[in-house]
Structures are given as C-alpha cells and as structure tokens.
C-alpha cells in the first residue's frame, strides 16, 4: 500500500523529512484499532507504516477489531494485557475508563501540540486530558438530489417542509429514509436531532446528564414530533433487521431518498455507484424556531492505556497523528486511480485548526455547517453523551419506539427507572 505520507508528499504538503528530528524509539508497541471499515482501515495501516518508517527500531503490532464488537471488548482489553494505543471516543464515552484508572493522563502532550484548542474540552475530565482526537465528522441528511429534481422538490428549511417533501416521495412509491437499527445506535441519531430541534441543545445535554425525567412532557413532545414521520410510513420496512451498511442499497437503488448519517457514509455511497451529482447534503431542518441548531459531530480518539508497556512510543504516536499535516492527509477523501487507492482517506474533518480541508463537496458542506450554522452546540452522539448503561437502555427503547410507537408510555417508564438507578450510582 502506498503510505499516507508518500501520497501526501506528492501533493507537496509535506514529506517524511518533516519528521527527521523525531524522538528515536525502540522496542515493541501494540496498537488495537476499531477502524475496521475499508477506508479507515487503510488509513490506520498507512499511519502505522509511516510511523514505523520514522522509527525503524520500533516493532509495531497492529490489531484491527470490529468496530461494534470493540464496544463490548475494550474494558477486558484495558484490564488484561492492555495494548499501548487504542481507539475510542471522546466525552462521556471515555469517562468510565478514566474513573476506573484505565486511561493514561496525557495532558503533557497537549502542551506540545498546537491547533487542538477547539476540541480540547471533549478530551478533558477533572482539568486533565485523557487522549487525543484524530478525526471528527458531521451528521446530517444525505439525499438523492436527482430524485428531488425528478419530483420537483427542494431542500427544506423547516420540519413542515420536510414532511411535505416526504409525502411527495411516498406518493412516488419510495420511502423517505433508509436506516438500519439492527445495532441500535442509528436510532440514537434520530432522537438526537428530534430532541435538539424540539427542545434545544442545552435541554438535550440536561437529559444526557440525568437532570430531566424521561417522562417529562418536553421529552414526550420530541417523540410526538418523531412519530409524525413514523405514522407517515417514512422509514424503510424492517429496518431493525439491517445494519447501517445493509440499509445503504435502499438509497443507492432509489427505493429511499434520504439517510440521516455521519459523513463516513459518503465513501460507501460512492462505492455503491452513486455519483456526486446524484447525492447531496443538508442540515436537519428546524422544528422549533425558538431553539438554536445543535448538531451531532462525534470525535474519534486515541488513548494510552494506563497499563501500557511502551508509553514513550505511544506518546510519540499520539503526537504524530494529531499534527496538522498528518491531519490534512488522513481526513481528506480517498483518492483512486481506477480500482487502485492512491491515497487512503477518512473523508472526514481534521481536528487540527492548522490543517487544510480537502476540496470535497461534502467535507466543505460539513465544515461550513459546523463552523457557521451549528449555532446551538455540538453533541457527541447519543451513545457517547449518555452514560453507557443509560445509552444502551435508551437505544433499545428508541428502536422499539420506531417499530412499535404505541409502546411509548412503557418505554418512557422503563427509561425513567433506568435513569434513576444509573445517575444515583
């Protein structure tokens, strides 16, 4: 595989010589990464290859694990024979491991890395930093622009316009939204937006912190707005049987027109044969005009386990991946020559403010939305903002609601019982 930095050097942004003075490292370094989808995996393998070239006396072992499976494996990995570097997530998702003493304090690195100030808060607990970011990405509605043109509808600005568009789409024999809730978390994205648009970002965070009852009338209003789409038949049938990837063909084949998802789905959409002329993106429309527009923009991270054996090498690796030039390289779109990948890329947004944003339509749209139009605040995503047990129970309830909306009262009672237990602990 052509390395990340070799491909980047061809565009004259940087060369490997930029790291000629890097601290010499030796011994073994183990990295466990959940970057298991094809494009992220290629980026991770390229990063390891480049870092290895910089440190020829360092033996690096990279293990790629399933992204969904890793969520249930990480605690055991941190407790028994921990690696030197792992992938995880920012904010509340890292808190249990910080509180358990399983993550290393890397505050010293933040004094050495410039350009990360805007995302520092998401890695901070008790005024210390417990990892570093390596990418973040916007969520929003990706849609079939060509079908919109065929049906004579335009991007909506309000929820009423969204529903009106949806009715036109349904009348054409299509579904409005593809979604796969087999692994639950995609339903969390819909709740985030429905709640932030109904009640605002601050209220959403109050709910995440356990300060609001799930049976609160304002939460019920969120579900009432969401049910309007469910009752229309807006979502593809049997979505509980699909992963998010398995639901993509509904959009690619034109059986559904939208996908509320993160920017990481753009590359698979292109791989499915959709062109940039066929797909476009817009910000989730306003529901309550009195609340600002909050957005989901999850931050993915690297951490050093407290029990790591080669912390010197791990620290250098974290500094390496957060550098402005490396951030530019890995977060740009994947570049291909025919079927050959000439530069792997995450197709997401760099976390370093000194980085460049690649000239990609969807990256630029996401960057503009997050920097100019996300006036309400930036959420990390349902299963990151809520404590793990609350998030797990919540996402089960959200999926159940999408399939059986008449169960709402029972769902909210269960979630409220969970809230009282989880936050009391």
pLDDT tens readout for residues 15-36: 333 444 456 899 999 999 999 9
Instruction: Report CA torsion sign: 83, 84, 88, 89.
Output: positive
The verdict on 162 and 280 lying in the same domain is: yes
Asked if residue 360 belongs to a domain, the reply is no
pTM for the whole structure:
0.76
The verdict on 255 and 192 lying in the same domain is: yes
Asked if residue 416 belongs to a domain, the reply is yes
State residue 400's pLDDT score.
98
The verdict on 146 and 117 lying in the same domain is: no
State residue 22's pLDDT score.
52
pLDDT in tens, the chain (425 residues): 446 555 544 333 333 334 444 568 999 999 999 999 888 999 999 999 999 999 999 999 999 999 888 988 999 999 999 999 999 999 888 988 999 999 999 999 999 999 888 788 789 889 999 999 999 889 999 999 999 999 999 999 999 999 999 999 999 999 999 999 999 999 999 999 999 999 999 999 899 989 999 999 999 999 999 999 999 999 999 999 999 999 999 999 999 999 999 988 998 999 999 999 999 999 999 999 999 999 999 899 999 999 999 999 999 999 999 999 999 999 877 788 887 888 888 878 888 888 888 778 898 898 888 878 888 888 899 998 998 899 999 999 999 999 999 999 999 999 999 999 999 97
Asked if residue 31 belongs to a domain, the reply is yes
State residue 4's pLDDT score.
59
The CA distance from 285 to 112, in Å, is 40
The verdict on 170 and 199 lying in the same domain is: yes
- Residue 240 belongs to what domain range? 139-296+368-424
The verdict on 154 and 241 lying in the same domain is: yes
Residues facing residue 337 across a β-bridge:
340
Contact between residue 109 and residue 319 where contact means Cβ atoms under 8 Å apart: yes
Contact between residue 169 and residue 181 where contact means Cβ atoms under 8 Å apart: no
The verdict on 63 and 99 lying in the same domain is: yes
CATH code of 103's domain: 3.40.190.10
Number of independent structural domains in the chain? 2
| Backbone torsions φ then ψ of 143, nearest 5 degrees | -145, 165
Summarised one tens digit per residue, pLDDT across range 100-112 is: 999 999 999 999 9
The verdict on 166 and 229 lying in the same domain is: yes
Contact between residue 148 and residue 154 where contact means Cβ atoms under 8 Å apart: yes
Instruction: Report CA torsion sign: 16, 21, 24, 28.
Output: negative
The CA distance from 331 to 172, in Å, is 38
The verdict on 252 and 336 lying in the same domain is: no
Asked if residue 361 belongs to a domain, the reply is no
State residue 368's pLDDT score.
84
State residue 71's pLDDT score.
86
State residue 23's pLDDT score.
65
Three-state secondary-structure class, residue 281: strand
Asked if residue 156 belongs to a domain, the reply is yes
State residue 9's pLDDT score.
42
State residue 15's pLDDT score.
36
State residue 95's pLDDT score.
87
162's tokens: 């969204």
The verdict on 248 and 309 lying in the same domain is: no
The verdict on 280 and 392 lying in the same domain is: yes
Asked if residue 363 belongs to a domain, the reply is no
State residue 2's pLDDT score.
47
State residue 344's pLDDT score.
86
The domain boundary residue, chosen from 355, 379, 403:
355
The verdict on 290 and 258 lying in the same domain is: yes
Asked if residue 346 belongs to a domain, the reply is yes
The domain boundary residue, chosen from 311, 332, 355:
355
> Residues in the chain, how many?
425
Instruction: For tokens 């740009």, name the residue.
Output: 332
Asked if residue 161 belongs to a domain, the reply is yes
The verdict on 397 and 325 lying in the same domain is: no
């Amino acid at each position: 595989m052509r390395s990340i930095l070799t491909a980047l050097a061809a565009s004259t942004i940087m060369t490997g010589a930029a790291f000629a003075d890097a601290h010499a490292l030796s011994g073994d370094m183990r990295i466990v990464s959940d970057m298991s989808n094809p494009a992220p995996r290629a980026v991770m393998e390229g990063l390891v290859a480049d870092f290895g070239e910089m440190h020829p006396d360092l033996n690096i072992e990279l293990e790629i694990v399933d992204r969904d499976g890793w969520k249930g494996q990480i605690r055991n990995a941190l407790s028994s024979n921990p690696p030197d570097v792992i992938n995880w997530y920012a904010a509340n998702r890292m808190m249990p491991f910080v509180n358990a003493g399983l993550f290393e304090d890397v505050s010293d690195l933040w004094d050495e890395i410039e350009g990360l100030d805007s995302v520092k808060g998401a890695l901070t607990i008790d005024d210390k930093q417990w990892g570093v970011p390596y990418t973040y990405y916007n969520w929003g509605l990706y849609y079939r622009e060509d079908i919109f043109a065929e049906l004579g509808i335009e991007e909506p600005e309000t929820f009423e316009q969204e529903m009106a568009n949806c009715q036109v789409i349904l009348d054409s024999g299509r579904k409005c939204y593809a979604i796969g809730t087999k692994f639950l978390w995609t339903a969390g994205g819909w709740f985030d937006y429905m709640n932030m648009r109904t009640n605002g970002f601050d209220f959403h965070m109050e709910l995440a912190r356990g300060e609001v009852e799930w049976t609160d009338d304002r939460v019920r209003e969120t579900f009432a707005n969401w049910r309007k789409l469910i009752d229309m038949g807006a979502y593809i049938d049997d979505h509980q049987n699909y992963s998010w990837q398995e639901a993509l063909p509904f959009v690619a084949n034109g059986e559904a027109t939208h996908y509320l998802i993160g920017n990481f789905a753009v590359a698979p959409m292109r791989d499915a044969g959709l062109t940039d002329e066929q797909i476009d993106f817009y910000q989730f429309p306003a529901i309550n005009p009195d609340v600002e527009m909050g957005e989901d923009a999850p931050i993915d991270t690297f951490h050093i386990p407290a029990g790591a054996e080669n912390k010197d090498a791990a620290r250098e690796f974290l500094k390496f991946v957060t550098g402005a030039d490396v951030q530019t390289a890995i977060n740009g779109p994947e570049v291909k020559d025919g079927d050959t990948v000439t530069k792997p890329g995450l197709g997401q947004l760099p976390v370093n403010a000194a980085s460049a944003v690649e000239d990609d339509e969807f990256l630029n749209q996401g960057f503009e939305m997050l920097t100019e139009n996300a006036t309400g605040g930036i959420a990390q995503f349902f299963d990151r903002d809520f404590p793990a047990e609350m998030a797990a129970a919540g996402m089960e309830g959200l999926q159940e609601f999408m399939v059986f909306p008449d169960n709402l009262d029972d769902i909210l009672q269960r979630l409220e019982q969970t809230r009282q237990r989880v936050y009391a602990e």
